Every structure is written in C-alpha cells, then in structure tokens.
Structure 1
Amino acid sequence: MTTHETIPETVDDVLKEFRDCGALLEGHFKLSSGRHSGHYLQCARVLMDPARAGRLAQAIVNAIPDDVLDQVDVVVSPAMGGIIVGHEVARVLKKDGMFLERPEGTFHLRRGFALEPGAKVLMVEDVVTTGLSSREAIDAVAREGGEVIAECALIDRSLGSADLGVPFYPLAAFDFPTYDENDIPDALASVAVTKPGSRK
C-alpha cells in the first residue's frame, strides 16, 4: 500500500489530509454553531476526492468499538455536511445510509427514507463544535422510530466537551479556539468575517 493509500491513524495524519487538499482554511469564520474562529475545516473539500473520502471513512470505522458496530442497522447523517461522510461510512459498514433534512427548520427524513421501528442507528457527522446539530438529529431519529446508539464524526472541535447523550467516536479532535460573538479577540475581529458553513 502506498503512502497516499494509507488509512489515517493519528491526528497529524488527518490534518495532513486536510492540508494536502487545501481544506484547512485560515481567516475569520463564523461557524454553523454561531461561534467565531480563525480556522475552518472545509470537510466538503477534503471529501471531494472519493479515494480520500473512503480512507477517512475507513479510519472513522476503525475507531469505533466492535461491540458498537455489531449493533448498527443503518447509518444516518444530517444534511448537508454529514451526507458524504455518512454515505462513505455506510459503504464501509455495508449498511444502508440515509440523511435527515430540515427545509422548515426541524430535521426529518424525506425522499422515501424510513427507519424500521427500533432500528439501531449510527449517526455520522462531519464536524461537531457545540453538538447542537447532532442532538437535534438524534432527537429526529427518535421521532422517526429509531434509536441512535452512537455517533461518529470526522472532527471534534469541542475537544470532548460536547455532550451528545450517546457515545461519541470522532476521528480527530483539533484545538482550534472558538469565540462567542461578544468575545472575539481584536486581532480576529479586524479580519473580515466569512461564513462557509451550510446552515443559515
């Protein structure tokens, strides 16, 4: 197996995947959570290469305990950010993958997607910062008749502080500081803000 095909195993390996494709951005970003940061991980860009997406999905699955994986019936992810990584994780697990949408503000299944009653769900996200989207998606699965038994993600920006109410298995945690709207450092505040995420 060549170096390019190696499954990422460390935080540095994962960060290299982002750097190699220009997906680690620097500037002033307003995150989907509403917090501000000088760094942004553009997961859509890191996942645009199917081979890279496959490597990262395999790495995510490798970090989840076997006793959890053995229970999974189906993979669910929240749109938009979770769709690609969720699909790739489902492919690795040889399970169906579906996604939640919220065109009116509340997550639910559309497009003919439906969960079997009591289905054991693995939730897949791209990035977790505060855990708000994840908790909303987990609640939506319960409303749809399933049960989220665990969540996994490419990146945990909360460094373990996000409480999702279920076991959480991120591939990597990055210590990029984030700031409340009213507590932005002067150096960051002097840079024009952009909002690269998908949530309005």
Structure 2
Amino acid sequence: MMENRIKEILTESGVLQSGHFVLTSGKHSEEYMQCAKVFQYPHFTKELSEMIAAKFKNSEVDMVIGPAVGGIILSYQVAESLGVMNVFAEREQGKMTLRRGFGIKEGQRILVVEDVVTTGGSVKEVINLVKSRGAIVVGVACLVDRSSNNKVFEEELYGLYHVNITTYESDSCPLCVKGLPITKPGSRNLVEKESYYERNRKF
C-alpha cells in the first residue's frame, strides 16, 4: 500500500517522466526522474519524509544531515519529523565540509539523507565527514534508490522507491530508430533527433 502511494506522489508531482531522454552520461532512456520536482509540494515532501522518519524512529537519531543541494530539503523535513537537529554539508574547494557555523559532536548518532542514490559518491563523502568528527552514522536514507541493489555503503541504505532505468547507447537506441523526439532534461529545448537509418544514409 505504501509503495503504491509513493509512486502516486512521484507521478503526480512530475518526478517520474516517460518519453525519449538524453541523460547526463550521454546515453538515452525512455524514463527520467527529476526528484527535485516533488519538493515543490510541501505536503508531499512532509508525507514522504514521515515515511523515512518512521523507519528510524527507534534508532535514537540525534541529528540528520544531507549533502547540498539534493539532500537539503528532504533531510530538513526528516529531521523535523524526528524532532531532531538538521545540518547540511556542502563543497568547498571540491571537498564536502560543514560551513555556516554547523557542527557535529563526537558520539552523536546521525542519519544521512539524500534525494536520490545511484553510485552514492556524495553520500560516501558525507559519511566520511560524519565519522571524521567522531560521530556515528546510524543509517542512510533516500527518496529514490537507483543503486540496483548494490551494496554502496557499509551502513544500511533505506530507499522509499527503487528503480532500475534501462539506458541505451546513442548509436543503438531503439527510440532513435523510431524517430521519437528527444528531450534533454534541464533544457527547455525539444531536440528533434534523426532516426538511426537517416543518419546512416548520409554515409
């Protein structure tokens, strides 16, 4: 029941999108997720955050931390649901750190929260930051888990929504073969893509 509700929220808020997309990697896909779109709706954000908080309500969490920028809003709302402090980490000269007077005390029990986890690079940096201050990472939570069930952290990873998006190389994309128009996420421009056959007729 909860899984259906999560998908309903992500669909209604425009997080889950279907079509023909060029991803950051250059690969193509018929699915795309823009997690930030759900944060436009405070009532949805609160509902999802309460689901995450419920998982860790007995973990004696002292603080929630999220990496900037994707984890800022979600980590704040999870902290509010748990009734604890919240901070966020951000990059300074390429390194994830605490700024703005934020601090972590030795022995604090900290939950790391991110919007989406794929390879987990930013989250790993935050985990290392927390541990370097002598604090304890009680777990990692995210709205969308795209890690394909890989063990990306030593700590437990709790994702509300799990997805494995199929991608294609640009020169062997079946969506291109069909001549479907391409959307570049983050761009206002809709790019008409030549079909695979049209491209190869030029040679």
Q: TM class by shorter-chain length? A: 0.7 to 0.9
Residues 149, 166 of structure 1: 8 Å contact kept? yes
Q: Which has the larger radius of gyration?
A: 2
Offset of 1:97 from its aligned partner? 0.7
For this pair of structures, how many residues does the alignment match? 181
2:138 to 149, 157, 160: 149
SS at the partner of 1:155? strand
SS at the partner of 1:47? helix
Q: Which residue of 2 aligns with 1:187?
A: 174
The 2-side partners of 1:24 and 1:145 are apart by 38
SS at the partner of 1:107? strand
Where do 1:1-200 residues align within 5 Å? 9-10=2-3, 12-26=4-18, 27-31=20-24, 34=25, 36=27, 37-62=29-54, 64-68=55-59, 70=60, 72-178=61-167, 185-187=172-174, 192=182, 194=184, 196=186
| TM-score (norm: length of structure 2) | 0.78
Compared with structure 1, are the counterparts of its residues 80 and 162 closer, same or farther at alpha carbon in structure 2 (3 Å cutoff)? Answer: farther
| TM-score (norm: length of structure 1) | 0.79
Note the residue ranges of structure 1 that are not aligned, 5 or more in a row.
1-7
RMSD over aligned CA atoms reads: 2.4
Q: Which amino acid aligns with 1:176?
A: I
Deviates more, 1:88-97 or 1:42-51: 42-51
Deviates more, 1:45-54 or 1:131-140: 131-140
Note the residue ranges of structure 2 that are not aligned, 5 or more in a row.
187-203
Residues 13, 41 of structure 2: 8 Å contact kept? no
Give percent identity, aligned residues only.
Answer: 31
Compared with structure 1, are the counterparts of its residues 189 and 111 closer, same or farther at alpha carbon in structure 2 (3 Å cutoff)? Answer: farther
Offset of 1:14 from its aligned partner? 1.3
Residues 60, 171 of structure 1: 8 Å contact kept? yes
Deviates more, 1:115-124 or 1:183-192: 183-192
Residues 79, 85 of structure 2: 8 Å contact kept? yes
Residues 29, 39 of structure 1: 8 Å contact kept? no
